[in-house]
Chains A and B, each alone.
Chain A
């Protein structure tokens, strides 16, 4: 089974621009979460989506947004980029099911390295 895929792998933007990152979960996985990883702050939770609905949100400003499509693929968007947004953005998926048998083990994609100049 193919793992979590993220595109693009590397991105360079300038301050003030916006960026959209894409994530395709493992086949059959319905929950997608996004994380930001920086040397100073470590791995921080951004948000979680399930069935096209955001269910959990981290402590990030409104410039960070996301969405999920009916095929469980997800995108995150960062508007008005700042230098501090330079980071590795990781997507993870889990096989959340409706009702019993759900598992919350998350598997990570390779990440998108965003550099803001």
Chain B
């Protein structure tokens, strides 16, 4: 079992629709979760971080966390063609508190068509 799993896609949605991206993780003790967006040939850029169960909203983006189910999701409302990119789920699995070890999923490629 991979430590962080995502569907590789592509996920194709029409412009204006809601895109839903999902991620599961294996380490039940993980506390920090992140979504990054990566355009082709570029480095990952942070979209959202989430630490507590429930929803966290930032503009068109909503991250959802369910630690009991070991599940993280990202919703993109009013999807735009410029949102077409690979979305990476990352979980901090540092071996002790206050250390960094981001484990990434393989990413979901999102395509938003006009």
Contact = CB atoms under 8 A, between A and B. Distances in A.
Chain A complexes with chain B: yes
Interface of A: 31, 33, 35, 42-45, 48, 50, 55-56, 58, 90, 92, 94, 96, 102, 104-111
Interface string B23-46: 000000000101010000011111
B88 interface: yes
Interface SS, B side: loop
Given A42-B106, A42-B107, A56-B95, A48 B100 contact: yes
A33 B43 contact: no
Contacts of B32: 104
B66 interface: no
Given A92-B102, A104-B100, 18 more contacts: A31-B99, A33-B101, A35-B104, A43-B104, A50-B99, A50-B100, A55-B94, A56-B94, A56-B99, A56-B100, A56-B101, A90-B44, A96-B99, A105-B46, A105-B49, A107-B46, A110-B42, A111-B43
Interface residues of B, number: 24
B37 to A, nearest CB: 11
Interface in B32-73: 32, 34, 36, 42-46, 49
Nearest to B6: A42
12 contacts: A33-B100, A33-B102, A43-B104, A45-B104, A48-B99, A50-B100, A56-B101, A96-B98, A105-B46, A106-B46, A108-B43, A108-B45
Nearest to B42: A110
A102 to B, nearest CB: 6
Interface SS, A side: strand
Q: Which 10 A-B pairs have the closest CB atoms?
A: A56-B101, A43-B104, A108-B43, A42-B106, A55-B99, A48-B100, A108-B44, A111-B43, A31-B100, A110-B43
A102 B102 contact: no
Nearest to B105: A42
